[in-house]
Amino acid sequence: MRAVWGLVYEMLDEFFSFDSRAFNTFPPLLLRPGFLTNEYIAGRRARYVSPLRLYLLVSIVFFLALAFLAIDEGQLQDVNVNIVEEDNATQTVDVLAKAMLQLERNLDNQDEESSEGTQATIDALRSELETARQHVAENEAGEEKADEEELGLWSIFSWDEEQFERYGRTHGQRVADNPERFIDKLFGALPQMMFLLLPVFALLLKLFYAFSKRFYTEHLIVALQSHSFLFLAFLILLLVSVSSAALAAVWSGGADTVRTVAKWTAIIIGLWIPVYLFLMQKRVYKQGWFLTFVKFGLIGIVYLTLLTFAIFAAALIGFATT
């Protein structure tokens, strides 16, 4: 079995070429548990997409689809309006200042009746100018405060309880005021956390199958392809949910049928996921049914615990960077 660097080299060599191997890869990935893993370990690899490339492709598409569907267009429009308002505030200060200067220059050349009207206009402009300057100052103060908090994050290990509470209140308010930014940061961190979880899951398999005489890289291939299957299954669930909702909205007469089909599709995929992973573990490691069942349950418990920590870490990153 080749070393990990050989696997990385293969991914880099093939990353920009996507050919008919995809059509040989996706059907067994979804329907034949353990087949691709056994084929790869046995050296029959030319007809299939490499495990690392497959994982990157499926996971990227899944997280892009998830992030796209989580975005609220109305919220994005609100953000754009706020940005425009901040830019306009600075421009308003310049325009009002120039208008006041021009009126003050003309004031000396006007008669008493005209000058009173001009002075009233200048006073009104001065009030608006003060309001605009205050708005710009508040924006700048908010940016400086945010920068100070981000710099303070580097010294988080030296914070006391009061600093943690203040930081939590500040960023908690930011999340409440701008939830779409938090979601964006969360989805930005999740793929990284999941990728970091892969070698940990492979190590977990190595520990549970310590006497199987398999190399760590083989366990890593199991981790890559099992996660590729999971992301593909969840992607299909996501597409079924979105497409059924859209179809039911335009086809009112068949809305109930569409919802029923979507419901049973989701149930079948939901049941197939644990069955697939169990059969994959059985066919790759070739141990007895009972021993495989016990190890599958224990590995699942440990992995779900690790996954919970990974999601929590992604949420914490999203919270801290919002």
- The Cα 140–Cα 175 span in angstroms is 20
Instruction: Specify the DSSP class assigned to residue 278.
Output: H
Q: Provide the 3-class DSSP secondary structure of residue 322.
A: coil
- Distinct helix (H) and strand (E) counts, the chain: 11, 0
Instruction: Give pTM, 2 decimals.
Output: 0.66
User: Could you read off the pLDDT tens digit of each residue along the chain, which spans 322 residues?
Assistant: 455 555 555 555 555 455 678 888 999 999 999 999 999 999 888 889 889 989 998 998 898 888 777 654 444 344 343 433 444 555 565 665 666 666 666 666 655 555 666 666 667 767 776 776 676 666 555 554 444 444 444 455 555 566 666 666 666 666 666 667 777 777 777 888 888 899 999 999 999 998 888 899 999 999 999 999 999 999 999 999 888 888 888 877 778 888 889 899 999 999 999 999 999 999 999 999 999 999 999 999 999 999 888 888 887 777 767 6
Q: What is the dihedral of CA 35, 41, 47, 53, to 10 degrees?
A: 90
* Structure tokens, 114: 């005209």
CA–chain centroid gap for 217, Å, is 28
- The Cα 76–Cα 180 span in angstroms is 8
Are 310 and 193 contacting, i.e. CB atoms less than 8 angstroms apart?
yes
